[in-house]
Structure 1
Amino acid sequence: MKTILTTLIFLLGIFAVKAQNYGEIHGRILDHATGEPILFATVSTEYGGKLIGTTTDDEGRFKLKPLQPGTYAVQVSYLGYNPRNIENIEVTSGKIYFLGSVNISTNNELVEFEVVGHKLIDVDEPNTLVIKAAELKHNAMIKSPAKLIGSITPELKTDENGQFIVRGSRAGTSATYVDGMRLTGGLGNFPGSSIKSISVYTGGIPAKYGDITGGVVVIETKSYFDYFYDQNSR
């Protein structure tokens, strides 16, 4: 009996490790003209010669998984609509690449689209949103970090003092950390160009942040080597 239990625990551990080695792509397909969700649209991608596909649900949402880390292109098709192709999607281990709302137009419409951004969500921590420097670099709101962070999720807003509030929680129940140090006020004139990554916890807050119940915004700034790399990669 003990041997069987040990074997089961070992196998579960292997499955857990394998699950963490994969990523996912989530999104929602909408009609460009009406904004209504498209039901049963086909969403697919290909990696290593293998086709991975799914269809949207009654809210137009889809999930492509499991996906090995790498660069993907997602194709969206639906009868009577122009197909969409979204390229250069970087899938990371243990993360969800969230495309947001993807609009498609009917065959009678000629519309140009632009994917303006995405969020990475931890598969094991669905209440955590992460944006890396590569996505921040071309964001129009990078000069105003407070507005940029406030746009990450509708669950996040700022109070009259510029401090972040998550899910309408009371003042003092949310916190902002910069390089491990808790801020006592708003971001003020914090330089957006110095940000390496932004993480927003709207639930399941790690114990290391103490008794915070509302939510946590974690900002990591660039090191000297990050600046050096930026200068030499231009």
Structure 2
Amino acid sequence: MKIIGFLVVAAIVVAVAGYFMLFGGDTSSETSEEKAAQLAEEAGVSPATDDTRQGSGTLEELRLLGEDLECTIAVVAGEQATTVEGTYFVSDGEIRGDFLTETPDLSGMMLSSMIISEDMMYVWTELEGEKYGVKIDLSLVEEDVNAETAVSQEPVRMDDRVDYRCVRWSNVDRTVFVPPGDVLFQDMSAVMESGMEYGTTYEGGGMPNFEGFEMPQMPELP
């Protein structure tokens, strides 16, 4: 069963589209602070208590709080009610997400990860023990990306409501935002020019076994 070409590229296009839908506007600190306060109030994002946050909100609302946070999230997303669980790290405008997604049609799990650091976005997926990644220079990406079609396939959009458990990230480890060295990241423009074909095409059924994989660890909450 051929899956790499569609799944990996779809996730990449979605990530770029989602970035410009959410971050393409005014990014001044005053605007962000005002928007964060408004979104938090409207969404009921819980105030920090003993350096913890727990409740329901969106990844974008958590980002706009302007705090160093490390979170675990869970959400049932998409038209097929797919269960997604993962970790989410935010610090000084940088974002890292690692998500395990149920894939009922393929009888397994898919791991997708994303890093946004400065003007670069890195997206990679692990299947059958192999990792496939793409890097995108956000300053060069055109704003007319076809977001409407792509966003519907994203595992967790920044505006999806999720259940979260967060703690203040008191000792920020910036290596979390460093792309993994064992992934060969191809340039997004090169992938698109090649006809949206990427990496190795797998034949055969089933999905990878993620036994032994560890996402960045969260401290236990009281």
TM-score if structure 1 supplies the norm length?
0.29
Instruction: Considering fraction of residues, name the structure with more helix.
Output: 2
Q: Which protein is bigger by CA-based radius of gyration?
A: 1
Q: What TM-score do the two structures reach when normalised by structure 2?
A: 0.30
Higher strand share: 1
